[in-house]
Amino acid sequence: METHSLDTTRLSSSQLADRFTELKPALSRREARLEAERCLYCFDAPCITACPTSIDVPTFIRKIATDNVTGAAVTILEANLLGASCSRVCPVEELCEGACVLGADHKPIEIGRLQRYATDHLLEKGVMPFTPRSATGRRVAVVGTGPAGLSCAGELAKLGHEVVVFERRELPGGLSTYGIVVMREPIRVSLEEVAFVQRLGVEVRTGVEVGRDVQAGALVDEFDAVFIAAGLGRVPALAIPGEELVGVTEALDFIAATKLAEKEGLERLNDLPLGRHVAVIGAGNTAIDAATIARRLGAERVTIVYRRSEAEMPAYDFEIAFIKQEGVEFRLQLQPLEILGEGGRVTGLRCARVTLGAPDADGRRAPIMVPGDDVIVPCDQVITAIGQEKPAGLAAAFGLATTRGYLDVDADGRTAHPKVFAGGDCVRATGQAMTVTAVEDGKVAARAIHAQLTATVAVAAGGSA
Ligand SMILES: Cc1cc2nc3c(=O)[nH]c(=O)nc-3n(C[C@H](O)[C@H](O)[C@H](O)COP(=O)(O)OP(=O)(O)OC[C@H]3O[C@@H](n4cnc5c(N)ncnc54)[C@H](O)[C@@H]3O)c2cc1C
Ligand code: SF4
């Protein structure tokens, strides 16, 4: 990321600590028991169905109520090996807590915070509740250490397979490590979960990019199966004039720098490139997080510039409400045309006004530019957050089919290649990309890979008998 520190106030260590810690505090033992005792332990509980990983929520909550916290964590991890991450980042209002029957008349049970209480307890104690089955002699390569890759790797290791995970970045954990804002998930939690999966016997090789340092063909030859969980890539270029100016920042780099600061010292946040007036282009997860960070670092004005209306924003309603509270402004139905600059630095964003037409392929109303009615949004920094690049390189390297750039898979994560499976963001052509759905993809694919590998073993054994 290019650096230019504009004239902003430096924040003290305590201000930084206040602004860049988890938003929701941990529950104390007493609070957790009181909350757990509110649960009705429904038969056919809707929260289980609403959880993409089908965690047996009433059972783990009952265990917390009886002070069996390790047992509660085991119930969670049996369904979702990344329960500590999910407890923090799941949009629970839309998932388990949204389905809680108590929500109709009272406050729903705080399932996410109870899940965090249990999983944090287990990770802090360093307990390993699973004993992997005896070795099958089968080897699986996983591409990417994000939630999908780790989930698949951990589940396969539990079943006795040898798993090697390749990760191109220096640190493992995918977007849990580099992407999700520290106020929701500290980097520590992501790295502890990686260590947990490693303790199941999974080998993690960081700094190794598949397609560059290791060839796709070599993985297919050397391993019995491959699971691609490479996520998506960088924010694509806007392809408008002015992108080369100092003050144009890619949102994922900006967010990653704040995640790493937690590891390297929060004071480093004062060195991040930050303008006084920041325009963030986009209205999804990444835009929301980048805008929140810019405000918390001290930008005087942060404006989300989006080409559709609030109803079409990919971010959840509660996230939009949250950033409004943080003081972020919205300029809607504006299409950026040019980043303006003076002396090589950003001075503004020229946009066309937009009206909205009929719904397009993804069901959102299509923006139609109004010619000759341009608007200038004054700013000295532009943060781009208009989605992520698709996994075109890996699709080509493995010879896989894609739909709108996402890898094609069946319900079990199988690609058309008999040895290659895929899951997580790189296959999510429709629907909201979430950590918990990536974890579920990894789990489902692990079961399919296991079934395929053990069927091959059975056929081979039958053939030689
Ligand atoms: C800014 C941001 C905020 C988000 N906030 C939330 C949230 O609050 N709640 C929520 O549920 N979801 C959130 N998400 C979405 C969530 O993070 C993703 O859905 C999830 O991480 C997807 O997991 P994954 O394993 O598919 O991919 P990723 O987490 O992206 O991991 C993929 C990994 O593969 C590696 N990789 C890629 N190519 C290669 C290669 N060729 N060789 C080796 N390694 C490779 C990458 O470096 C990366 O580590 C957010 C996403 C972003 C961008
Ligand atoms: S994993 Fe997420 S959706 Fe499932 S029970 Fe836990 S917090 Fe709720």
Residue 235 tokens read as 């924010």
Q: What number of other Cβ atoms are within 10 A of residue 449's Cβ?
A: 28
Does domain 248-384 correspond to CATH entry 3.50.50.60?
yes
Helices (H) and strands (E) in the chain, counts: 17, 15
The CATH number, out of the four listed (3.50.50.60, 3.40.50.10310, 3.40.50.880, 3.40.50.180), of the domain defined by the range 139-233+389-464: 3.50.50.60
* 87 Cα–ligand 2 center, Å: 6
How far apart are alpha carbons 22 and 194 in whole angstroms?
Answer: 20
How far apart are alpha carbons 268 and 332 in whole angstroms?
Answer: 33
Residue 56 tokens read as 């047996």
Phi, psi of 121 (to 5 degrees): -60, -45
Helical segments of 130-250, H only: 147-158, 175-178, 187-199, 216-222
* 35 Cα–ligand 2 center, Å: 16
Report the CATH architecture of 24-125: Orthogonal Bundle (1.10)
Q: With H, G, I as helix, E, B as strand and everything else as coil, classify residue 445.
A: helix
Per-residue pLDDT of the chain in tens (465 residues, 90 and over written 9): 443 455 456 899 999 999 998 999 999 999 999 999 999 999 999 999 999 999 999 999 999 999 999 999 999 999 999 999 999 999 999 999 999 999 888 899 999 999 999 999 999 999 999 999 999 999 999 999 999 999 999 999 999 999 999 999 999 999 999 999 999 999 999 999 999 999 999 999 999 999 999 999 999 999 999 999 999 999 999 999 999 999 999 999 999 999 998 888 888 899 888 999 999 999 998 999 999 999 999 999 999 999 999 999 989 888 999 999 999 999 999 999 999 999 999 999 999 999 998 887 777 888 899 988 899 999 999 999 999 999 999 999 999 999 999 999 999 999 999 999 999 999 999 888 999 999 999 999 999 999 999 986 666 665 443
How far apart are alpha carbons 232 and 131 in whole angstroms?
Answer: 33
Q: Is 80 in the pocket of ligand 2 (CB under 6 A)?
A: yes
Considering every ligand atom shown, identify the ligand nearest to the alpha carbon of residue 433 and give its number. 1
What is the best residue among 113, 151, 434, 436 to mutate for testing ligand 2's pocket, by most ligand atoms within 8 Å of CB?
436
Residue nearest to atom 3 of ligand 2 (CA): 51
Count, residues in the chain: 465
Considering every ligand atom shown, identify the ligand nearest to the alpha carbon of residue 61 and give its number. 2
What is the best residue among 175, 181, 214, 386 to mutate for testing ligand 1's pocket, by most ligand atoms within 8 Å of CB?
175
What is the best residue among 56, 61, 115, 435 to mutate for testing ligand 2's pocket, by most ligand atoms within 8 Å of CB?
115
Strands of 334-342's sheet in order across: 334-342, 345-359, 365-378
Q: Is 111 in the pocket of ligand 2 (CB under 6 A)?
A: yes
Q: Would you give the DSSP letter of residue 163? A: E
How far apart are alpha carbons 198 and 202 in whole angstroms?
Answer: 5
Strands of 277-281's sheet in order across: 248-250, 381-384, 277-281, 301-306, 329-332
Residue 61's nearest CA partner among 37, 44, 43 is 37
Cβ–Cβ under 8 Å, residues 355 and 333: yes
Residue 420 tokens read as 């290659």
Domain with CATH 1.10.1060.10 in the chain: 24-125
* Strands, E assignment, 344-464: 345-359, 365-378, 381-384, 402-403, 406-407, 420-422
Domain with CATH 3.50.50.60 in the chain: 139-233+389-464, 248-384
